[in-house]
């Protein structure tokens, strides 16, 4: 992964892997990792889960479950990964200030392409990608602690702040539908996620399109990028771990039975899990 070390020197200097100040003082932020897939499943998903230091598996979630977490991370999801109950639970979570992180193919979750709120929260949908190859990644916002897809929308248009871009002169792309704007965004955040209904209270969101390869999740600088995005989201004052009186999300205890987010006809492999960032140093 030499293209990381060449173009992320400044980014790496800003971020060490021990990046949890502000959420470590006697508290433990909780992030739900949801990696369900129905279509193509990246073989790097188990490596990503291991790299994120997952502690406990969880295979069923709904409103009651989501309310226990400070942030929700969609990890390389593809296909119809949410049924109507799951879509409603996700919408409800965002409406009360839930924070959202999405990685790589989460921009290609078919079940959510027709849900307006997910498009606003994510800022863009996957269109296509060129052949796998090395390329230059430029740091746009070095102040943010946070495969090269082409997208159907420009995240700038909905107020997102782009932190990384692909240098299009450094790789070959024969496609013709590149509507993602210039510079070519590949990682961005919203200070307040836009995927809420009227009257909702928005949390933060972060998306990176990187993470296709197993080798990425073994690279310290790439992990600093991903965990930096998670850190920014968790330091939102919408999370109870950061502000105990902010909102009724995060670190709760619920013994209520829960329902799977997956469609009943799905044959996917689902590995949603929990990480505790304060233990990940």
Inside any domain, residue 224: yes
Mean pLDDT for all residues in the chain: 63
Q: Which residues of 227-256 are buried (b: 16+ CB within 10 A; e: fewer)?
A: bbbbbbbbbbebbbbbeeebbebbbeeeee
Structural domain count, the chain: 1
Inside any domain, residue 48: yes
Inside any domain, residue 64: yes
Inside any domain, residue 23: no
Inside any domain, residue 103: yes
Confidence of residue 249 (pLDDT cuts 50, 70, 90): low
Helix (H, G, I), strand (E, B) or coil at 146: coil
CATH code of 183's domain: 3.40.50.880
Per-residue model confidence as pLDDT tens digits over 192-238: 766 777 766 678 889 888 888 899 899 888 888 888 888 888 877 66
- Indicate whether 99 pLDDT > 70: yes
Per-residue model confidence as pLDDT tens digits over 108-139: 655 566 777 777 777 555 454 444 545 556 66
pLDDT recorded at residue 137: 61
- Indicate whether 2 pLDDT > 60: no
| pTM exceeds 0.75, yes or no | no
245 vs 72 pLDDT, higher one: 72
pLDDT recorded at residue 237: 65
The token pair that represents 147 in the structure block: 């495969």
pLDDT recorded at residue 276: 31
Inside any domain, residue 116: yes
Residues whose CB falls within 8 Å of the CB of residue 164, separated by 6 or more in sequence, listed in order: 137, 138, 139, 140, 185, 186, 187, 188, 208, 210, 225
Q: Tokens 């839930």, residue?
A: 98
Asked if 34 and 75 count as a contact pair (C-beta separation under 8 A), the reply is yes
Inside any domain, residue 184: yes
Per-residue model confidence as pLDDT tens digits over 38-70: 888 889 999 998 888 754 444 555 787 787 788
Domain that holds residue 115: 31-235
Inside any domain, residue 268: no
């Amino acid at each position: 992964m030499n293209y990381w070390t060449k173009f992320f020197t400044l980014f790496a200097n800003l971020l060490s892997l021990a990046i949890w100040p502000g959420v470590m003082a006697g508290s433990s932020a909780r992030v739900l990792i949801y990696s369900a897939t129905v279509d193509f499943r990246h073989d790097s998903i188990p490596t990503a889960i291991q790299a994120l230091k997952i502690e406990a598996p969880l295979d069923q979630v709904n409103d009651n479950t989501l309310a226990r977490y400070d942030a929700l991370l969609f990890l390389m999801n593809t296909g119809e990964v949410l049924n109507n109950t799951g879509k409603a639970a996700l919408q409800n979570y965002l409406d009360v200030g839930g924070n959202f992180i999405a990685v790589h193919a989460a921009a290609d979750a078919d079940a959510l392409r027709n849900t307006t709120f997910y498009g606003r929260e994510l800022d863009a949908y996957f269109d296509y990608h060129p052949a796998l190859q090395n390329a230059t990644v430029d740091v746009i916002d070095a102040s943010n602690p946070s495969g090269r897809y082409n997208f159907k929308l420009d995240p700038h248009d909905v107020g997102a702040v782009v932190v990384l871009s692909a240098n299009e002169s450094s790789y070959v792309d024969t496609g013709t539908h590149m509507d993602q704007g210039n510079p070519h965004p590949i990682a961005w955040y919203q200070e307040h996620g836009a995927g809420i209904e009227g009257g909702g209270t928005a949390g933060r969101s972060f998306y990176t399109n990187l993470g296709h390869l197993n080798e990425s999740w073994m690279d310290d600088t790439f992990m600093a990028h991903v965990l930096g995005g998670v850190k920014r989201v968790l330091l939102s004052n919408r999370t109870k771990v950061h502000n105990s009186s902010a909102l009724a999300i995060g670190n709760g205890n619920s013994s209520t039975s829960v329902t799977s987010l997956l469609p009943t006809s799905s044959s996917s492999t689902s590995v949603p899990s929990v990480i505790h960032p304060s233990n990940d140093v």
